[in-house]
Amino acid sequence: GQQVMQIPQYQHVQEGEDFTTYCNSSTTLSNIQWYKQRPGGHPVFLIQLVKSGEVKKQKRLTFQFGEAKKNSSLHITATQTTDVGTYFCAAYSNDYKLSFGAGTTVTVRA
Amino acid sequence: DAGVTQSPTHLIKTRGQQVTLRCSPKSGHDTVSWYQQALGQGPQFIFQYYEEEERQRGNFPDRFSGHQFPNYSSELNVNALLLGDSALYLCASSFQSGRGNQPQHFGDGTRLSIL
């Protein structure tokens, strides 16, 4: 079945710095979604990318879908303590089954 | 506008017992999916219900079963509980569009512990 791999597993960031987390698939994806899960919370939908090469921004977060639609990235600028949590990418392997990556857990040093 | 609600929030069971978890979808949503999230891992798809039918199932044994009611709420049943079933069980709802491209709205989950 469809699998998405995420790297890195952990990201320790100094407050104010930038970082990027990556999501890769061996097969072409129809779309990709990103979720954020705060410690002790539930996943919250952030964004969906559909088109090849698509770039979307949400304040300090920039999401990109690769040209071949096999990879995606999330770039966060000027990291803040509110960015702490685990970021998941997820993709549909068929019309109804959403497969999540293992996530990138972000901690921030003040 | 109520979001996805799940009950109970926490549950402790022993091996071999059976458990039923409940979920009410977000208002206006008609599709419910269940996920299992072990500690430190991403959510794993269990199954999805639409129009009271299971229409897609993940790689979970038959001990995991479910139901969807006419009001779109859903139950997840797990029989013959194993220690490995300890996890956070998440319910997510969406509005059926015919294609699998809908964002999932998650509830707070049920934390199930097996002793």
Q: What is the mean pLDDT of chain B?
A: 94
Q: Are strands B87-94 and B105-106 parallel, antiparallel or unpaired?
A: antiparallel
* DSSP strands (E only) in chain B: 5-7, 10-13, 19-24, 31-37, 44-50, 53-57, 64-68, 74-78, 87-94, 105-106, 110-114
What are the chain B neighbours of A90 within 8 Å (beta carbons)? 42
Residues B35-47 pLDDT 10s: 999 999 999 999 9
User: For residue A4, what is the nearest residue in chain B, using CA coordinates?
Assistant: B42
User: For residue A38, what is the nearest residue in chain B, using CA coordinates?
Assistant: B108
pLDDT in 10s for each residue of chain A, 110 residues? 458 999 999 999 999 999 999 999 999 999 999 999 999 999 999 999 999 999 999 999 999 999 999 999 999 999 999 999 999 999 987 768 899 999 999 999 99
pLDDT value, residue B27: 94
Instruction: Please count the helices (runs of H) and the strands (runs of E) in chain A.
Output: 0, 11
What is the domain partition of chain A in residue ranges?
4-109
> Per the structure block, which two tokens stand in for A39?
């410690």
Given this structure, which CATH class describes domain A4-109?
mainly beta
pLDDT value, residue A18: 97
Considering the domain delimited by B5-114, tell me its CATH architecture.
Sandwich (2.60)
| Interface mutation vs chain B, best among A98, A104, A106, A107, most B CBs within 10 Å | A98
Angle at B17 between CA B11 and CA B20, to 5 degrees: 50
Considering only CA atoms, which of B55, B7, B64, B8 is closest in space to residue B30? B55
pLDDT value, residue B98: 57
Q: Per-residue confidence at B100, pLDDT binned at 50, 70, 90?
A: low
Q: How far is CA B91 from CA A15, A78, A90, B65, B78, in A?
A: 33, 33, 16, 14, 14
Q: How far is CA B60 from CA B21, B25, B35, B78, in A?
A: 16, 22, 10, 11
On whether any CB of chain B is under 8 Å from the CB of A55, the answer is no
pLDDT value, residue A2: 55
User: How far apart are alpha carbons A47 and B111 in whole angstroms?
Assistant: 26
